[in-house]
Amino acid sequence: EVQLVQSGAEVKKPGESLKISCKGSGYSFINYWIGWVRQMPGKGLEWMGIIYPADSDTRYNPSFQGQVTISADKSISTAYLQWSALRASDTAIYYCARQTTVETPPKYWGQGTLVTVSS
Amino acid sequence: EIVLTQSPGTLSLSPGERATLSCRASQSVTSNYFAWYQQKPGQAPRLLIYGASSRATGIPDRFSASGSGTDFTLTISRLEPEDFAVYYCQQYGSSPQTFGQGTKVEIK
């Protein structure tokens, strides 16, 4: 069974750094893209970017380029989303999702990680 | 980027009724790389439709979709209680992938 299990909820202060994770199981992790999607409170879905764990080929939505870093450690089947300096506006639920190729829709999703940034 | 505009924002219907949701793209969607998702409160989105009209594995046949170019439609033939949720359209043929703002299907 394909599963994407994300790390737990985080509460951080503005300016702090953060790295959240998404561990894949039940399939060959390196052969599928992992994307990240943001959902701000009460709002819709925003595609942030995507990574191919086999070679770390990474593509960003220009709206998120420079704001976050997407990475992966194929040795432990885990993808990451990180911030160097959080802002209150980063408060959201972040989902990881598996895509067969860059041009296929995400079918398998993680459970989401709630990130709250507040002073 | 391609902007997707969904209508209506909210659809108030009764169980058993037919729901028709629309999504319009600001430019033509590449190769009908178009999807629909359902999201319930506290849950991750669930893929319903891909390729504009193909149902994902395990999706009941009361869900159907059509469209091409810039205009797409999701139809739920007879609403079941579990279908009341928010529905999002998505295009994944042009980078960045983009989503519509959502249509809430609520119980009337």
CB neighbours of A27 closer than 8 A, spacing ≥ 6? A2, A98
Q: Residue B91: what pLDDT?
A: 96
Which of B39, B94, B97, B99 is the best residue to mutate to test the A interface, defined by the most A CB atoms within 10 Å of its own CB? Answer: B97
Q: What pLDDT does A103 receive?
A: 87
Helix (H, G, I), strand (E, B) or coil at A57: strand
pLDDT at res. B31? 80
* B96 vs A contacts (CB less than 8 Å): 47, 61-63
Nearest-5° Cα angle at B98, B92 to B103:
110
What is chain A's pLDDT, residue by residue, as a tens digit (119 residues)?
999 999 999 999 999 999 999 999 999 999 999 999 999 999 999 999 999 999 999 999 999 999 999 999 999 999 999 999 999 999 999 999 999 998 899 999 999 999 999 99
Of A46, A59, A109, the CB nearest to B45: A109
